[in-house]
């Protein structure tokens, strides 16, 4: 019982999910979620441009 198939067997393809029908509240929640993600993305981009916050990090003592 030797076969020429080597390696892992390919997984079976999962059936495509049917398109869900959304009501008004679901659509509103999805829209709100997208807006929040967009706002967070913009805030992250702003934070990366500014660098460190406040500019007061660890300070070295003046001892020599």
DSSP H/E element including 21: none
Quick: pLDDT tens for 38-62: 999 999 888 888 665 555 556 667 6
Q: Span 28-37, mean pLDDT?
A: 95
Pair of tokens at residue 3: 């076969």
Confidence check: pLDDT of 5 > 80: no
**pLDDT score for 30:** 92
User: Are 52 and 44 a contacting pair, CB within 8 Å?
Assistant: no
Confidence check: pLDDT of 3 > 70: no
């Amino acid at each position: 019982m030797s076969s020429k198939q080597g390696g892992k067997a390919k997984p079976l393809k999962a059936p495509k999910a049917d398109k869900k029908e959304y009501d008004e509240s679901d659509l509103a929640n999805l829209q709100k979620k997208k807006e929040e993600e967009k706002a967070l993305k913009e805030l992250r981009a702003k934070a990366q441009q500014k660098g460190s916050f406040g500019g007061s990090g660890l300070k070295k003592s003046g001892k020599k």
